[in-house]
Chains A and B, each alone.
Chain A
């Protein structure tokens, strides 16, 4: 079936470096994508989203890039800090009626920031 998956299970970066977390999706009909951050013992927290009519969106220290041609989504974190250590999930608006769609989540990437 349709799925959303991540390329790397664990990413280790040095504090201050930029991080790039990747996500591949297979449902070409998906029109909305979200990145969530989940810290240990907490629920996922919304970071940034992007609609399919855009290819780039920037937030505070984060940028999401969408390449619909290859069905690829990435999250870039600038100047990574220890507080960025968490598991990051991408999610897509799943198939179904517009008013009834539930998100489909990828398997997650653990980001470890080394001091």
Chain B
């Protein structure tokens, strides 16, 4: 069982609000990721980080931003939420499993923007 946490689990918010989705891991992993997933669909990488003060955009363009000030914490922020941001957001971190890096996922945050 991976020690990676996301809060809130569910969020309903109005258009134009600023929101921050929290993600924390206690495994000491350097690499962390944010994915966006619509119901029944594939995961799309939107942000990743290789370590403190390192962040890069993923394959799917996103209006969200991230920061990595501490190893264990990788929050995602939307400055002005819109209905098009409604989705599930999954955080992951990667560490060594055997001789290979493997990603471990948090439970996700389901976001609904009205």
Contacts and interface: CB of A to CB of B under 8 A. Distances in A.
Interface string A73-90: 000000000000001010
A25 interface: no
A106 B33 CA distance: 17
A44 B41 contact: no
Interface residues of B, number: 26
Contact of B108 (A42, A46, A49, A104): A42
Contacts of B104: 46
A51 B97 CA distance: 12
B57 to A, nearest CB: 11
A75 B59 CA distance: 26
B30 to A, nearest CB: 9
Given A32-B100, A87-B40, A103-B103, A43 B90 contact: yes
Nearest to A43: B105
B43 A44 contact: yes
Contacts of B43: 44, 89, 105
A15 B3 CA distance: 32
A105 B106 CA distance: 16
A34 B42 contact: no
Contacts of B2: 46
24 contacts: A32-B100, A34-B103, A41-B108, A43-B92, A43-B105, A43-B106, A44-B43, A44-B105, A45-B105, A46-B2, A46-B97, A46-B102, A46-B104, A49-B97, A49-B98, A51-B100, A87-B40, A89-B43, A103-B45, A105-B42, A105-B43, A106-B42, A108-B40, A110-B40
Given A43-B6, A107-B42, 20 more contacts: A32-B100, A34-B103, A42-B107, A43-B106, A44-B43, A44-B90, A45-B105, A46-B102, A46-B103, A49-B97, A51-B100, A91-B103, A99-B50, A102-B45, A102-B58, A105-B42, A107-B41, A108-B41, A108-B42, A110-B40
